[in-house]
Amino acid sequence: MIYQHKGKILAFTILFVLVQISKSIAQKNYTKAGYVRFYSTTPIENIEAINKSVVAVLDAQTGNIQVSVLMKGFEFEKALMQEHFNENYVESNKFPKAVFTGTITDFSKVVYAKDGMYSVKVKGKLSIHGVEHDIETSGLISIAKGIPQIMTEFSVSLADYKISIPSIVAEKIAKQVKITMKGTLDNVLK
């Protein structure tokens, strides 16, 4: 009887270890509730928009990352700003998404099994308004109980993405816009 009990404990322990190992390899972590903020500041006016329904996927083996943002998901303080953003500037009906596809180039230093904060470099392509450009930036990956949280901040030039600003409001909108992205990737694809 004692041997059967020890055998069950051993079998359970082995199963538990295998599940934990399989969680740490060959998986993709994702969220559908990521956060992107853009911020434009000028002496005349500050403009901020937030999108809380960003999809982000991180491959735990390769460091490949993809982030997809529905442009109509950005919320502004003023409804008129949101309307102008979608209709006149980013043309959301024609270009519904912004997408980043890239790699965390030094991903090997991130240890999923160890809670902590890891500074990383990210390199890839950002597509906005039908235009794609290379992006290189730094970021942070925070691991808590095996769950990664990603964070980065960088600036983009509106002209690089062929986003035209009418001269009548040009002084109110910065030529460089600060982008902040973060997300807790607490879901797993296998």
Q: pLDDT means per 10 residues in the chain (190 residues)?
A: 56 54 66 96 94 95 95 95 93 97 94 92 97 96 94 96 90 94 90
Residue 109, domain CATH: 2.40.128.110
Domain that holds residue 61: 28-189
Query: What's the angle, vertex CA 24, arms to CA 19 and CA 30, rounded to 5?
Result: 110
pLDDT on residue 190: 67
φ/ψ of residue 26, rounded to 5 = 55, 45
Answer whether residue 15 is part of any domain.
no
| E strand spans, the chain | 28-41, 46-59, 64-70, 75-76, 97-104, 116-128, 131-144, 147-157, 176-184, 187-189
Residue 121 lies in a domain: yes
Residue 111 lies in a domain: yes
Beta bridge partners of 34: 54
pLDDT value, residue 12 = 57
Q: Is residue 159 part of a domain?
A: yes
Residue 1 included in any domain:
no
- 100 domain residue, yes or no: yes
Which residues share a beta bridge with 133?
A: 126
Q: Does 23 map to a domain? A: no
The two three-digit tokens of residue 16, written as one number:
């538990």
pLDDT at residue 24, rounded to an integer: 47
The number of domains in the chain is 1
Output the pLDDT for position 60: 86
Within a domain: 13 = no
